[in-house]
Amino acid sequence: MVIASQLRPGMAIRYEGNQYKIISCENHPGQGKMGGVVHARLRNLSTGALWEHSFRSELKLEPVPVEKQGMDFLYSDADQSYFMNPENFEQIGIGDSVIGPARRFLQPGMRLPVESVEGRPISVIFPDIMEMRVADTAPPVHGQQDSTWKKARLENDVELLVPQFIKSGDLIRVEVESIRYVDRAKPAK
């Protein structure tokens, strides 16, 4: 058993017969006779629904072991992406609802950690920042204010805003979770 005040993002728990993954949590210690409270944002592993709940700090919860395995991305179809275990070459399909909007950043051959609970995949962990090539954007404008942005389309058809000096073919760094431009990628030496 784990005490609610020990919950951390990434853990999985069983509560009221359902399995949840902790997305975020904040521990608010109590004062005087008031007991502490843990505010947690949870994702139901069966339905994918998000749920915010407050637990008493001393509440005992059943932890569920989360296994992490590096897997190679192979391909995607209409509603699933397929990964291969590099050790035993076993292939699994993971639904787009499990992967989320970051699915558009998958590239063949990419190795990513896949988290699973009781043999069922529950999430694919992407790096915080990825390098992507700009496929199409307006010609660069020099001498303009740094605060102006323009639309750009990446090789994976994701559209985002970039600074005016970026041109088609540039390699840029993108924050995966928010799909936001970070900076221009440094050329490899």
Distance in angstroms (rounded) separating the CA atoms of residues 66 and 13? 10
**Which residues fall within 8 angstroms of residue 13, CB to CB, at 6 or more apart?**
2, 7, 19, 20, 22, 42, 61, 62, 63, 64
Fold topology of 129-184: OB fold (Dihydrolipoamide Acetyltransferase, E2P) (2.40.50)
Q: Phi/psi class of residue 119: alpha, beta or left (left: φ > 0; alpha: ψ in -120 to 50)?
A: left
Task: Tell me how far CA of residue 44 lies from CA of 18, 24, 29, in angstroms.
Answer: 7, 13, 26
Alpha carbon distance 1, 5 (integer Å): 12
Pairing of strands 80-84, 18-28: unpaired
**In the 8-state DSSP scheme, what is residue 60?**
E
Pairing of β 60-64 and β 80-84: unpaired
78 CB contacts (<8 Å, ≥6 apart)? none
The C-alpha atoms of residue 90 and residue 109 are separated, in whole angstroms, by 15
Q: What is the CATH number of domain 67-124?
A: 2.40.50.140
Which residues is 159 bridged to in the sheet? Answer: 153
- Dist. CA 42–CA 10, nearest whole Å: 10
Instruction: Give the residue ranges of the chain where pLDDT is below 50.
Output: none
Q: Are 105 and 73 in contact (CB under 8 A)?
A: no
Question: Residue 112: what pLDDT?
Answer: 94
- How far is residue 172's CA from residue 168's CA, in Å, rounded to a whole number? 11
* CA pair distance 40, 67, nearest whole angstrom: 21
Residues of the chain with CATH 2.40.50.140: 67-124, 129-184
Q: What is residue 52's predicted lDDT score, i.e. its pLDDT?
A: 93
pTM of this prediction? 0.76
- Structural tokens at position 61: 């919860």
CATH class label, 2-64: mainly beta
- Rounded CA separation 121/68 (Å): 9
